[in-house]
Structure 1
């Protein structure tokens, strides 16, 4: 059972956003990750959680896409996953198709994932 002190802290808007971000981070590879699932994971309504993210100037799903792209950027830079294909990295980050992953990556960073990996382009998030 949750003690009353923990409940009030957990319901603080900043704490809820932090919990949601942690939940998202731990579920980025889940292609079915959506507003309802994230809200259920932090025990609030989807509308309330979306409202909280909007007060920070970003939609909840935009935050999810940015987190996925950032993880992909880090994986493309890492030495270990050099054996992983671009498509595999996209899947690890929750993208269902390589084309969608590549399109969003290029939109966010200005280069394709393969050019980013091969050219050693230093792209700032």
Structure 2
């Protein structure tokens, strides 16, 4: 399953999120690819494309994302990395709990998000 997290005019938020996901034990092995676009002088980071290989990856991402977001809560500058896109669906995820975000991503992916976990021994536990 593949989702996109948009910059929402806050490129630094995406840079921070990418770094956070790379350090988190449950998400450091996720495929997180930057999406760049043309800016006024150089290319700018517009989004992160995130690919999940297993259903447990979705839960690990949701927990890492909500934890990262809570560390930024006191900052007044920027609200970036709060828009999730899957196919033609775009959702503001800035208010969702880890459980709600997990359920949202799994429901957006339908069978793709739940079907590949049927025989996944890691389902329901955080990888380290």
Normalised by the length of structure 2, the TM-score is 0.29
Higher strand share: 2
Q: Of the two structures, which has the highest relative contact order with CA contacts closer than 8 Å and spacing of 6 or more?
A: 2
Q: Greater helix share, 1 or 2?
A: 1
Decide which structure has the larger Cα Rg and report it. Answer: 1
